[in-house]
Copies of this chain bind each other. A is one copy, B any other.
Amino acid sequence: MITVLRLGHRPQRDKRITTHVCLTARALGADRVLLDREDARVESTVRDVTARFGGPFTIESGVAWRSILREHAGPSVHLTMYGEPLGEVVSDLRAEAGGSVPEDVLVVVGAEKVPGDVYELVTRNVGVGNQPHSEVAALGVFLYALLGVEVLEGGFEGGEVRVVPQPRGKRVVPVDEEGDA
């Protein structure tokens, strides 16, 4: 189970960025996303995508995030430009999991500022580079580095449609024709 925890979400200001965070989590192999602040609109958008393109993937907003962080049994990683190198942390996580992809990882993604105690509550603070960029890109690259290129090959079940890769143009087929990948 890979969980993404989004902190610092402000429903008015961050709707689009947080939606990008959620959809990136789903597309790059996470199983669920949790938002600190309640936001029915983002929940609805993410559930619509999952209904159309498949799951399993769940979203919950307005969670008790400090309890979740404190009680999480597996490794938790906070993505921050101040953290340790991505390559080192991914190697460590895999080594701790006996050489394979670790189970039950909690990935914490903040908005512009996160409460200072987050740095202490997590297992690792990870820099996807040590430059200011985007929590959306940081999440995508972290999951890709952790899970490998296979994570892009699908594995979704149910939903209504699948996209079939094409050199040019767009091809979308009903799930009945393509089968559950």
Contacts and interface: CB of A to CB of B under 8 A. Distances in A.
Interface of A: 16-17, 20-21, 23-24, 26-28, 49, 53, 81-87, 119-120, 124-125, 127-134, 136-141, 144-145, 149, 151-154, 156, 162-172
Contacts of A120: 168
B133 A24 contact: yes
Given A20-B137, A131-B163, A137-B137, A119 B169 contact: yes
Contacts of A149: 86-87, 145
A86 B149 CA distance: 8
Contact of A138 (B124, B140, B154): B140
Contact of A82 (B84, B133, B136, B169): B169
Identical chains in the assembly: 2
Contacts of A21: 134
A9 to B, nearest CB: 14
Of residues A125, A140, A162, which shows the largest number of chain B Cβ atoms within 10 Å of its Cβ? A140
A56 B127 CA distance: 21
Contact of A24 (B53, B83, B137): B137
A170 B66 CA distance: 21
Contacts of A167: 83-84, 124-125
A76 to B, nearest CB: 13
Contacts of A144: 141, 144-145
19 contacts: A16-B17, A17-B17, A17-B20, A23-B132, A23-B134, A24-B136, A27-B129, A28-B137, A53-B131, A82-B165, A82-B170, A85-B152, A87-B152, A129-B152, A129-B154, A130-B152, A130-B165, A136-B137, A136-B140
